[in-house]
Structure 1
Amino acid sequence: MPTERIHLPDGRGLTASLDTHGEADAIVVACPPHPQHDGSRHDPRLEAVSGALPRRIDCLRFDYGPWDEGRGERADARTALEWAGDRYDAVGLFGYSFGGGIALLTAADSEPGIERPVAALSPTARLDDGSDVVDAVRRIDAPLWIGYGTRDDTVDAAAVADAAAERGGTVERFSADHFFVGQQRTVGERVATFLGDAL
């Protein structure tokens, strides 16, 4: 898929990659994993989701600004979401690991009446600043998908998945660890299918 490098207009110097065929009316904003553990917009799980989306849906993969324990990173996601919302009819969210927590918190804080479908892969249950992702899931009023590996010992994604199931979200479990080694294409297709249907 053709990719354009763009700079998002804010004070934190955000760089992003827009994967586009030039004909989309919908977009997915993809939140990367933890920036202090080499998380970036080039994460293979984000790229797998982007590559599996139908041509009518673009993908905006962005890098966070300077590390801010989750506060600034949530602001970065909102900046990306606002950029996308100004240009597309429909916007969804995706995140992996730390980015899954960011995506879910951002979806929970969406304006009333604006539906943002959200998918999170192996989401963390709590950010470094103490933000409670499990509680945020209970406030999301939009199509919701959570996927995680049954051998994941890196984050407590199961707690987030349980909260999602309680509010009628879709939960998929994979025989995998936190990183989905050898299964990235499969999980990318599952996320893309959900977001393609929801958008």
Structure 2
Amino acid sequence: MSQETVTISGERTIEATLDTPETETDAVAVVAPPHPVKRGDRDDPRLKAIRDYLLDHDVAVLRFDYAEWTEGEGEIADTYAALSWAAERYDQVGLTGYSFGATVAALAAADVDEDSAVGQRLVAVSLLAVDVRIGDQDEFDAADALEDIDVPVRVVYASEDDRVRWEPVVERARELNLEENNVDTGHFFVGSLEIAGRKAGEFLVEHAE
């Protein structure tokens, strides 16, 4: 694995880490971190578990940090900026995130124009421990966003999770016949990081092949 720090400029400027496998690849996964106010960042253990699985399957990984907290709008823009950066450099782009990052990932994916560079290269979205909303803001609803995502989606949830409101997202995923998968643990996947990384990562690998 090789690793480099990159600066991405969009509506805001964000810092990211690009992890690349030993073999050349035309596929990358953008990984959105958990809540920044709760000290979530690109070095979160869940993100690293996803990274490890993806690198083992020859997919590069772009993990980023959000810029200044703006209660959702800026964080969605940051995620889209990371997607745009990835789409300029790789032929196949996956998107995933954990907790708040999964919510933001769903909302960013729902905003993708299929005719844009991101839309032409985005292959799949995987959501790990997604919360249905950012705070109590109805306009940032991940369950509603699922209907507007034009690529395959998998929702991975922890069946004992009492930290986020995942049930409405899983229910909507079932209504839309999207993939959903559970891990019998709590929100932080203690003792199950490798399983969480695999379930979130394998879906992206499958659609990048």
Q: Do both share a fold (TM > 0.5)?
A: yes
Residue pairs, 1:39-188, within 5 angstroms: 39-53=40-54, 54-112=56-114, 114=119, 115-128=122-135, 129-130=137-138, 131-188=140-197
Q: How far off is 1:132 after superposition?
A: 1.1
Question: What amino acid is the match of 2:163?
Answer: T
Q: 1:38 to 1:87 in 2, by over 3 A?
A: same
Q: Distance in 2 between matches of 1:4 and 1:66?
A: 22
Q: 1:148 to 1:55 in 2, by over 3 A?
A: closer
Q: Distance in 2 between matches of 1:55 and 1:86?
A: 21
Q: Distance in 2 between matches of 1:121 and 1:152?
A: 11
Question: What amino acid is the match of 1:28?
Answer: A
Q: How far off is 1:93 after superposition?
A: 0.4
Q: 1:39 to 1:173 in 2, by over 3 A?
A: same
Q: Distance in 2 between matches of 1:164 and 1:87?
A: 31
Count of aligned pairs between the two proteins: 199
Q: How far off is 1:161 after superposition?
A: 1.3
Q: Distance in 1 between matches of 2:64 and 2:36?
A: 11
Deviations 1:55-98 (A, max 9, x none): 43100000000000000000000110000000000111001000
Q: Please name the residue that 1:6 is paired with.
A: 6
Q: 1:92 to 1:13 in 2, by over 3 A?
A: same
Aligned-residue identity in percent = 40
Q: 1:10 to 1:138 in 2, by over 3 A?
A: closer
Q: How far off is 1:11 after superposition?
A: 5.2
RMSD (Å) for aligned C-alpha atoms: 1.4
TM-score computed with the length of structure 2 as normaliser: 0.91
CA contact (8 A) 2:57 2:205 kept: no
Structure 2 stretches of 5 or more lacking a match? Answer: none
Q: Please name the residue that 1:38 is paired with.
A: 39
TM-score computed with the length of structure 1 as normaliser: 0.95
